Structure 1
Amino acid sequence: MSARVEQRALPGIGVVQDVVTKCGRRIGVLTHRDGHRELVVYDVDDPDAASETVPLTGDEANAIAELLGAPQLVRHLAEMQEQVIGVLTEQLPILKGSAFAGRPLGDTQARTRTGASIVAVLRQGEVIASPGPSFVFEAGDSMVVVGTREGVDGVASILRGDV
């Protein structure tokens, strides 16, 4: 069962997205109209009052997103993999000096050539879900690939320049 995220507009302030944890604590992220964010921990006795707020810089918000988002995406895909026999999820890096660093995803022709799909790219703490063919890889990116063993191995071969 997945957690339910509630989103509320705060007129003149911004938007807050909250989730209630399994143990009953409510936490959220407040995104102000000017773009800065705060992590909000709500009071146990008064769920409408914040007991703690933590202002976040853009880099800090991205770091927390990486800590929570990227591993969760990969974990979720791995759980799906267990449910679908024959389907794998792996992270494949774009190494420095790779022929695909600085080139668009479409140049790999990965799906056409292997049947495997690049479902996300992890870049400097950010998850880029469902990148399109014009998405340009950078050295240090990790792509999340879903497919059969042969398909995932095929994408790895393409990245190495074997084929």
Structure 2
Amino acid sequence: MGTRRTNLPGVGTQIDFTTEAGRHISVVIHEDGRRFIGFYDVDDPDSCQLSVPLSTEEATALAHLIDPAPIDAVRTDGIDLVTEHIPVTSRSPYAGRLLGDTGARTRTGASIVAVLRRHSAHPSPGPDFRFAGGDTLVAVGTREGVDALAEIISGG
């Protein structure tokens, strides 16, 4: 199972997900909030079999069906903040390294507010917290900051 995030300049962000069974699913989040889910041919991962457009409300409803407690975006005084889960894969340059090594807040303005592990959660990790492959970071910031943090963590 793997996830890859790609910045699409002028469009938004594409998140590719490969299931344990090898199925390729892609979510494109446009800058204006539109979302599309694409399903790809197992034999040709570049061939999209079906694309389903979702409004913000539909995407939220689908997220609630899949995960009954997803983290939603927060809007404060006209500034859009997002909260997002960012995986630390075994290929991440930060797997096994300290949170402080990322320079996350300085480089992106986004904050890592928690780290989720298989059987535990670590709220408010300090700079000496050591990441492990399989961790999931809970990040808060602007869309641009969180996207930049995801790029850093993935090594992109």
TM-score, normalization: structure 1?
0.50
Are 2:144 and 1:144 aligned? no
Higher strand share: 2
**Matching of residues 77-156 of structure 1 within 5 Å:** 78=72, 81-84=73-76, 85-156=79-150
- Provide the C-alpha distance between the structure 2 equivalents of 1:97 and 1:87, rounded to a whole number of angstroms: 28
Length, aligned pairs only? 88
Which stretches in structure 2 are left out of the alignment for 5+ residues?
A: 1-67
Q: Secondary structure at the match of 1:121?
A: strand
* Structure 2 residue aligned with 1:161: 155
Unmatched tracts of structure 1, length 5 or more = 1-70
Query: Over aligned residues, Cα RMSD in angstroms?
Result: 1.9
Larger Rg: 1
Residues 95 and 131 in structure 2, CA contact (< 8 A), matched pair in contact too: yes
The CA distance in 2 between the partners of 1:99 and 1:157, in whole Å, is 11
Deviations 1:130-155 (A, max 9, x none): 00000000000000000000000110
- What is the deviation of 1:82? 3.2
Identity %: 54
Q: Which has the higher helix share?
A: 1
Runs of 4+, deviation exceeding 4 Å: none
In 2, Cα distance between equivalents of 1:153 and 1:127 = 22
Distance between the aligned counterparts of 2:154 and 2:75, measured in 1? 30
Separation of aligned partners in 1, 2:82 and 2:117: 21
